[in-house]
Structure 1
């Protein structure tokens, strides 16, 4: 009742506002009032803070003034983008009728809900990236998940069936989605995990099957995929409230059809984002991106996320690159034409939305006019490898011709105010324009003749929207006017305005011509737009072909600039041989002369390279360069080496660098173990594993034991190609007991007491770690370094007889992923044996019992610290 009374006291406008706002409680409501979009109440308070606007009030003299703030309508997109980039939704509420003709309150309604996943208005830099909206449904019976995603700006639409949470998280991270749509089938625990990734979770329950949805989903048979797709399309329809004719028929894909890399590996290898700067510079994408079109740049990211597994498909791409690499001049001509090709995918989307303007159509025409030139370049190459691209290049000439005939070369932004259509395109429009031009000429001649007749040189004939055309005479010259010559219409401070019957008659003709001309022009423009709309699917197919061609020429440019070679790929051999391989990104940053290349050779009988050597010597770079070489090869690019022979890998796993997950309370060591566990559980003999310093996050003997057991397990059970770098030199003895393991090390020498890194990988183990030398390079004080050297000498003397176990490693049965609650690494009797009988007093026994019951995998580092502190206090009493 209180709410009803409050509403009853509001103005009709605020009643209307609140009614609309109640339909969009989780969005900022931009409510159109004249030339402004206004926000009220909580929206205004929060919006003013986020957008740095001045917060004012409505009805400020009342007891409860209403907070408000606003933005001008012509600049609204900038403010919408700011809110959406921050993860908010914006509901755009427009006036649906002319305020001059409305009776009572102007009718208003929300015409679009802009969300992080549905925003299609992007800047030039963002145009090189897709903005994916994703959807998820869960099947409680099979534990599978239906997954769908779309880029509303380009029309891309894909669906998949995911088998577990890890696969889901990998997909959403790889797609860099900002928003995911779910329904009640998705458990809250999973929603919490998704939210922690910074992804907006939107809920959609009601689904109404529409004819358009049926068309888009006709190729999808899987029930889980159908449900996810229906959920996604329903949400798009609810939020966008406009034509989506450019959405492409949904395609089903399987993540297992591509080289799999979890989000940890993509992050560690810096494929698209630099770990330190979070930017593109210094990444593999940065190196490979010599594309000339926004479409090519977006597709390149997709290729980078999903390298191929088919030898035939990989070699098909590489052979196309070879042709372009071998024909410099033709490739240069191709680049010149691609530079003038605009974003065909997003232009098609704007046509479907009805938001395309004259300048967009000119961009489309310019792009299509490049197609015959591109076709000519490919025909000149006369290469069979490019035949399928050549045959797929549809120039869509009818659309280009329609735009050329109708639209002026330099149209205005507005499509409703005229001057968009060419002269000669429509006879009626030419008549109106002639009337306007003659009318304006008549006005100019009238002004000149009246000046001569009255002798008033400052007399002018002008126009405004309120009074129409008028004759204006300054008051100083009023005495020069013949009496009765003009009819007075308006008095100003310094002048008088007049009219004549002839002027009013001419005004009516001119204004009528202007009004009818603008309406006719808009009608003609929409006719051209409809011609383009009918060709949307052809334009989208053309865009994919042009994007592919753009990437291939980009690979050719990179291959030439950085001396890349075509690798030999093998599906059935595990022989890996890279001669003088290089880390392409590091080499680009350092320069060709400074980088030291290295060989990597792992024959079918070698599954593990155990890498030793000092810090900063290049072990991690050596490991990463192999992974990047594999990714480049399976994308279809050439690779940084003198020669390369590679098997086709199905997955890449990495454990590189130190990282913790403070949000979920997981320490660096916990993250290290989780990443290692993913590799151990899911890798196959066709996988690539990179383990960098496994075990360093815990006590020395714990770490060494874990490192050895992981090596043995991978060697005996997984058989994947593995690069394992370590500072545990004791592990090098494993070469004697593990037949498929080989020691290599990164060379370093001492010269005049200084450490010199050779960055050269050589056979055999390193002779020492050089940790103190590295500390010296970091600038540590000499007294500290001397003390460290003394302690090291004492430790080495005490432990010189202690060597790592070289007991013959027996094959262990490969097991499924364990429940962490069941993990018990040390037998209870073994735990008790760690203590002598003299130590087993009641206090010690109580602590031991607590320790035995503790599940380390389920507590945070802070919890462990608190427990240790509690035990210390108990023992000290």
Structure 2
């Protein structure tokens, strides 16, 4: 029986690291899957499954007696196919080529660069822009593991697509209601909770130990993390937060600079809306098909941004209990209702803003495209206008939001100088870096323009010299630049032409002069693309250093969007007697006057 080929040995070496995941193995322009993985991928993606019993030399392929299955997808279509695999419930490991195949000596080096699970998605096409995509970690208090008793739990939630990081400590009996608020896409724990958890993964208890958690938190937040994050007297939260960071590290999700500081919340701050209440009242999803159609969220959803949509959903699911906080929101909404110019100006400025939270996550992870960087610049450029609109705002909340929306001139200026206004979608196409930003790039582009112009001039010159009016200079990846002469004109070919290829109706030639210029042009093109990639990566890395300040401004924009949307929904009350809405004053425990028992913190109103 023959041995595995070096490529397949490399494949199984990487596959051994994540046996429970489908391995997408980059080979040239495709991500290939083999053996059992190929069968699953072909079935779930509805693509062709190829089976072979023997290799190219006729030797039987030793795969435990089963045929050699393979199925592949184009590398440029990865996101679309990856989304389908995740929706089908799979965990997917991506193995990339980590060296240039042109420079490789022997087999190209490959490594697993990322493991994608439902809770670690950052690709926009795979996410619902109106909902968070939380990963949850559950920790039981010491001595309760392995028992059926109920006790205290530590719960940590992180949305790697927005950078939000939350934690709380609760009674185990409250877990179902807590998970219903956030609807995590994936949960990790060392035990099986009594309530239903989406995509639960049972991990080794060591992942949730205090020592492991402390190491993970120190690695992310540095010295003094315990005091800064207020985790010293919250041991269950500490372990849950550390476990979630360790899990992200295990999936090769190491670019965590966009994660905000851990925010503690308490169930006593919000009205308890358990899963049964949320379902029966059809607050977020309807009973029929679990969509938003006909729900309270759909009725109230007048936000202009994706960030605002997520904030509105969270506010509805977690109504406030603090009267001061409720009054603060309602005062802001009331001011916007009574000032149509302010309300419409804010709505117009917010319209079209990018999803800054998720965009900055992609910047931090090094996956933002050139076009996304331009969108980031245009969205940040709106901040001065938003501040100016709020300059005369009277309510405390709107005044606070104005301060939180301070501009980011350094980031806007850097992107304005460095990235072309209309760059291509992919770096490999070139033309991403703006003219004048980098001297060497400008020189290379000048050489490319001159070189192509020279080749065009050479074509005219050679036609005149040879008398062959149909002579043309063309290019392909095999021979580079060449002169093509039809068979009818071969007797006119100058003696210094060097024959390169014979076709049915023509022959192709080169000249030393043409090859010399080709070398210069192709070298400049290759260097230009490589240098642009370096420059773009450097600019993106610099912008990633501003992740937390930009995300703070994104959160302020989201809250402002919800307030503006809420006031827009109530503006129709202006035709009521007195010309304004009737603002209800919440009583104790959120009980409304007139016998309405509404969630405290809502902005419900009655027209006169």
2:604 to 638, 642, 651: 638
Give the drift of 1:34: 1.5
What's the offset of the Cα at 1:330? 2.5
- State the alpha-carbon separation in 1 of the partners of residues 573 and 143 from structure 2: 52
Show structure 2 runs of 5+ residues with no match: 145-150, 575-580
Q: Distance in 1 between matches of 2:295 and 2:17?
A: 44
Greater RCO, 1 or 2 (C-alpha within 8 Å, sep 6+): 2
What is the correspondence of 1:262-411 to structure 2 with a 5 Å cutoff? 262-379=274-391, 381=393, 386-411=398-423
* Cα shift readout 1:404-438 (whole Å, capped 9, x = no counterpart): 11111111122244200111112222111111111
* Offset, 1:323: 1.1
Aligned to 1:464: 476
Match of 1:510 among 503, 521, 530: 521
Cα RMSD over matched residues?
2.2
Shift of 1:381: 4.7
For residues 352-388 of structure 1, give each alpha carbon's deviation from its aligned partner in whole angstroms, at most 9, with x where no partner exists: 1011121111000110111111122112556555211
- Match for residue 148 of structure 2? none
SS in 1 for 2:431: coil
State the shift of 1:125 in Å: 7.0
Identify the match of residue 150 of structure 1 among 147, 153, 158. 158
Q: In structure 1, which of residues 152, 163, 166 is the aligned counterpart of residue 171 of structure 2?
A: 163
Q: Deviations over 1:233-265 (max 9, x none)?
A: 000111034311101111111122111111111
Check 1:474–1:200 CA distance in 2 against 1; reply closer, same or farther (3 A cut): farther
Residue matched to 2:578: none
Deviates more, 1:210-219 or 1:151-160: 210-219
Match of 2:31 in 1: 37
The residue aligned with 1:568 is: 585
C-alpha separation in 1, matches of 2:545 and 2:607: 48
SS at match of 2:373: helix
The answer for the alignment partner of 2:439 in structure 1 is: 427
| SS of equivalent to 1:160 | strand
* Aligned positions of 1:213-232 closer than 5 A: 213-215=220-222, 218-219=228-229, 220-221=231-232, 222-232=234-244
Classify 1:553/1:65 alpha carbon distance in 2 versus 1 (closer, same or farther; 3 Å): same
User: Deviations for 1:390-409, whole angstroms, at most 9, x for unmatched residues?
Assistant: 11112111101110111111
Equivalent residue number for residue 178 of structure 1: 185
Instruction: Give matches, 1:783-794, under 5 Å.
Output: none
SS of the aligned residue for 2:156 comes to strand
1:577 equivalenced with 2:585 (yes/no): no
Whether contact under 8 Å (2:585, 2:593) holds in the other structure is no
Q: Deviations over 1:771-813 (max 9, x none)?
A: xxxxxxxxxxxxxxxxxxxxxxxxxxxxxxxxxxxxxxxxxxx
Structure 1: runs of 5 or more not aligned: 1-5, 579-599, 601-625, 643-877
Q: Deviations over 1:754-783 (max 9, x none)?
A: xxxxxxxxxxxxxxxxxxxxxxxxxxxxxx
- Separation of aligned partners in 2, 1:386 and 1:64: 67
SS of the residue corresponding to residue 506 of structure 1 reads helix
Q: Are 1:180 and 1:200, in contact at CA under 8 Å, matched by a contact in 2?
A: yes
Deviations 1:58-111 (A, max 9, x none): 345746422221111111211111111122100011122233443443322211
Of residues 549, 567, 582 in structure 2, which corresponds to 1:538?
A: 549
1:576 to partner: Cα distance: 4.6
The residue aligned with 1:258 is 270
Change (3 A) 1:473 1:347: same
Aligned counterpart in structure 2 of residue 15 of structure 1, from 9, 17, 20: 9
Relative to structure 1, the CA distance from residue 253 to residue 15 in structure 2 (aligned partners, 3 Å threshold; closer, same or farther) is same
- Structure 2 distance, partners of 1:64, 1:141, is 47
Aligned with residue 52 of structure 2, among 54, 58, 61 = 58
Is the CA contact 2:220–2:256 (under 8 Å) kept in the aligned structure 1?
no
Contact 1:204 1:235 in 2 (8 A): no
Match of 1:49 among 38, 43, 46: 43
Contact kept? 1:37, 1:72, Cα under 8 Å:
yes
What residue number does 2:73 align with? 71
User: Secondary structure at 1:374's aligned position in 2?
Assistant: helix
Please tell me whether residue 494 in structure 1 is matched to residue 461 in structure 2: no
1:46-125 superposed matches below 5 A: 46-60=40-54, 62=60, 64-123=66-125
Quote how far apart the aligned CAs of 1:465 are.
2.7
> How big is each residue's C-alpha offset from its partner over 1:565-603, in whole Å with a ceiling of 9 and x where there is no partner?
42112338x97532xxxxxxxxxxxxxxxxxxxxx4xxx
1:288–1:514 CA distance, 2 compared to 1 (3 A)? same
Contact 2:177 2:272 in 1 (8 A): no
Q: Compute the displacement of 1:229 (Å).
A: 0.7
Change beyond 3 A, Cα 1:107–1:562:
farther
- Residue 454 (structure 2) pairs with residue 454 (structure 1): no
Question: What is the rounded CA distance, in whole Å, between the counterparts of 1:312 and 1:530 in structure 2?
Answer: 41
Native 8 Å contact 2:586 2:593 kept in 1? no
313-322 or 136-145, which moves further after superposition? 136-145
Shift of 1:202: 4.4
After alignment, is 285-294 or 463-472 more displaced?
463-472
